Amino acid sequence: MINSNTHEYIEFYEGTLPIILSAPHGGEILPKEIKTRTSGVFEKDDYTKELTLEIIKEFEKSLGKTPYAVIASISREKIDLNRKKEEAFEDKKASKIYDRFHNLIKFSKNEVEKKFAKGIYIDIHGQSHPHNYLEFGYMLDNSTLNLHETQLKEYQEQSSIKNLAKFSKQSFFNQLKGPFSMGSLMTNLGFDSVPSVKLPYAADNNYYEGAYNTYLHGSLDKRNISGIQIEFPYVNCRDTKENRQRCAKAFVSALTKFLEVHLEVNFPKIDCFEQNL
């Protein structure tokens, strides 16, 4: 059963899994009472809200359980929920919306740690880079991803998954782009991703490493919730309902396998890896 409520243009889904999703840039409501921003980025991440809802549905369908989720319905033209508060809006009336979004993520983190001791936070975005890959961001830039394994390990403390090492038997290098990294798991299901075994870094240098939400809510705060920003391409992931459902199915399969390997969370078998999506 999916439990949700909406208030102050923020939809909240109370979960039963050690997984927290957020989607800050997929909303399109333009409240007249809130001043439109005049600086910054205003572009909507098209259909990321709809993709996030498909992911929630797929979890419920596959496992009978759901992640926590915080989804913005308000337009980015009014408020950018992936920025520091002082940069996010120009109208004080947007302050409550900002606080609700981030407080619900913090509440979800507290609940996950209380119930499961450890978990994962995923910030969902959309990008339009020509390579059409999924981009998994760990607060490490593209040049850092291109480093040798020994050099890359030196950046673990700067990563939003730095505390995954407390639970995972895999090296930091493998957590980022080994066979059981999120990028490789999605690549194996037909969605080429950076970083991964196939694409260890972005050869064209088009790569989003993560932003404020991933920095704030990932394990850089020394807690046991690791954070990843995911930039979904438009084509094949967000453009049609059919593709959103197909992408959601692959994502749920990949994320459950990732958590089984790195956080030793046990799930019922999802046979997505054995089936043709």
Rounded Cα gap, residues 199 and 194, in angstroms: 5
Given a cut of 50, whether residue 15 has pLDDT beyond it is: yes
CB 199 within 8 A of CB 128: no
Task: Tell me what pLDDT residue 159 has.
Answer: 97
What are the Cα distances from residue 58, in Å, to 2, 79, 84, 170, 249?
11, 29, 32, 27, 6
For the chain, domains (ranges, CATH) are 3-273 (3.40.630.40)
SS3 223: coil
Banded pLDDT at 270 (limits 50, 70, 90): low
Rounded Cα gap, residues 178 and 182, in angstroms: 9
**Percentage of the chain with pLDDT > 70?**
96
Q: Which two tokens stand for residue 5?
A: 């409520």
Write down the mean pLDDT value for the chain.
95
**Which of the pair, 221 or 190, is modelled with greater confidence?**
190
Rounded Cα gap, residues 51 and 122, in angstroms: 13
Q: How much is the pTM?
A: 0.95
Given a cut of 80, whether residue 53 has pLDDT beyond it is: yes
Cα 234 versus chain centre, distance:
16
| Residue type present at position 99 | D
Q: Name 227's bridge partners.
A: 121
Banded pLDDT at 1 (limits 50, 70, 90): low
